[in-house]
Amino acid sequence: MPETTSERVIRVIVATQKLAAERVGEESTFRELGIDSLDGLNIVFALEEEFAIAVPDEDVKDFTSVREVVAGIDRLLAGKDA
């Protein structure tokens, strides 16, 4: 079974931030995880590569939790398929 968007986003965050996988869930906020704006940019670059998409700058500023990132990626993927 292929990974869900959520699972892929969490995997990228865990890998880029070198966090324990059990620490990161869809309800996690970047503040809870100690992710600052520079870390956030690194995550976005990794997500763009993972999903083969471009994340607009205006979307990036709205990402403050894993759930928001997943929702944003899902929107971008839906637009890419259309």
Predicted confidence (pLDDT) at residue 81 exceeds the cutoff of 70: no
How does the average pLDDT of the chain come out, rounded?
94
- Alpha carbons 43 and 74: distance in angstroms, whole number: 16
Percent of all residues in the chain with a pLDDT value above 70, rounded to a whole number = 98
CA distances from 75 to 20, 54, 55 (A): 27, 12, 10
Could you tell me which residue, 48 or 1, shows the higher pLDDT? Answer: 48
Single pTM value for the model: 0.93
4, pLDDT greater than 70: yes
Residues paired with 29 in a beta bridge: 65
pLDDT beyond 60 at 58: yes
Is residue 19 pLDDT above 80, yes or no? yes
Tell me the β-bridge partners of 65: 29
Which domains, and CATH codes, for the chain? 5-81 (1.10.1200.10)
Distance, CA of 53 to CA of 45 (rounded, Å):
10
Q: Catalogue the active-site residues.
A: 36
